[in-house]
Amino acid sequence: MFGDSIRKCLAGLQGTQTWRVGIAVIAKENYPLYIRSVASQSELKFHYTVHTSLDVVEEKISAVGKSLGDQRELYLGLLYPTEDYKVYGYVTNSKVKFVIVVDSSNTSLRDNEIRSMFRKLHNSFTDVMCNPFHNPGDPIQSKAFDGIVSGMMVQTG
């Protein structure tokens, strides 16, 4: 019930349609480089979800930072589950964050699939960064990257 009221509160603000899957790339300084979700009406809700998930990401990173020397695992796993969706996180060594949000009802996605999605995303992101004309810190506008993301959305959504 209580969760309901939050959902209603959000839904009232941002339209009722929920997204099935969304992908976000977040810069080291915690602003979005790339945001993509299936249903555009509730995009702001997606923004909020990803934004609040950063708390957990930061917490996880700082926890890892304490154990020195270790090769850090980039995949952060499930950040937090809510009634409607699951939020997964991934952090590159340069502290760029990837966040994938999937519908809770989507049971076909296992941890391994999410992992491989992140890996694909990371590879594509690396390609974007290799582009000498791309200014790191600018929003990602690469078509190739967009294509990869679209592919994933189709696959999962």
Partner 1 sequence: MSIPDYMQCAEDHQTVLVVVQPVGIVPEDQFFKIYKRIASVSQVSIRDSQRLLYIRYRHHYLPENNEWGDFQTHRKVVGLVSITTCDSAKDWPQTSERFHGQKEVYSSTLYDSRLMVFGLQGEIAEQQRTDVAFYPSFEESPDVERRVEDFVESIFIVLESKRLDRATDKSGDKTPLLCVPFEKKDFVGLDTDSRHYKKRCQGRMRKHVGDLCLQAGMLQDALVHYHMAVELLRGVNDFLWLGAALEGLCSASVIFHYPGGTGKLAGRKPSVSQAADTGKRHRPGAQEVLIDPGALTANGISADTSTEIGRAKNCLSPEDIIEKYKEAISYYGKYKNAGVIELEACVKAVRVLAIQKRAREASEFLQNAVYINLGQLSEEEKIQRYSILSELYELIGFHRKSAFFKRVAAMQCVAPTIPEPGWRACYKLLLETLPGYSLSLDPKDFSKGPHRGWAAVQVRLLHELVYASRRMGNPALSVRHLSFLLQTMLDFLSDQEKKEVTQSLENYTSKCPGGMEVITLPDAADLDGLLCCCCRCSPAVKLSLFSDFQWVQGDVCEVQLMVYNPMPYELRVENMGLLTSGVEFESLPAALSLPAESGLYPVTLVGVPRTAGNITINGYHTSVFGVTSECLLETLPTVKTSGCLVEVIPSLPRLQLSTSLPRSTHTVQSMSKEELCSSVSVQLFNGEKQQMTITLENIGSEEIQTLELTSKIVSTKEKVFGEFLSWDLEDALSHLPLKPGQAVTLTVGIKVKLDFSGQESLLQDLNEDGISVTGLPISSPLRQVLKARSESKSVSSESGKTEYSHVKTLEAVLNFKYSGGVGKVEGYYKELSLGVHVDVEPSVFFTRVSTLPATSTRQCHLLLDIFNPTEHELTVSAKNNQELVLHASECQR
Across-strand partners of 90? 75, 98
Query: Backbone phi, then psi, for 156, in 5-degree steps?
Result: -95, -35
Q: Contact between 35 and partner 1 (CB under 8 A)?
A: yes
Among positions 51, 95, 115, 119, the unique one binding partner 1 when judged by CB under 8 A: 51
What token pair was written down for 44? 């702001």
Q: Contact between 55 and partner 1 (CB under 8 A)?
A: yes
* 46: CB partners within 8 A, 6+ apart: 19, 22, 24, 35, 37, 101
Q: Contact between 31 and partner 1 (CB under 8 A)?
A: yes
- Quote the least distance from Cβ 74 to partner 1, whole Å: 18
Residues contributing to the site for partner 1 (CB under 8 A): 1-3, 5-6, 9, 13, 29-32, 35, 43-44, 47-48, 51-52, 54-56, 59-60, 63, 80, 82-83
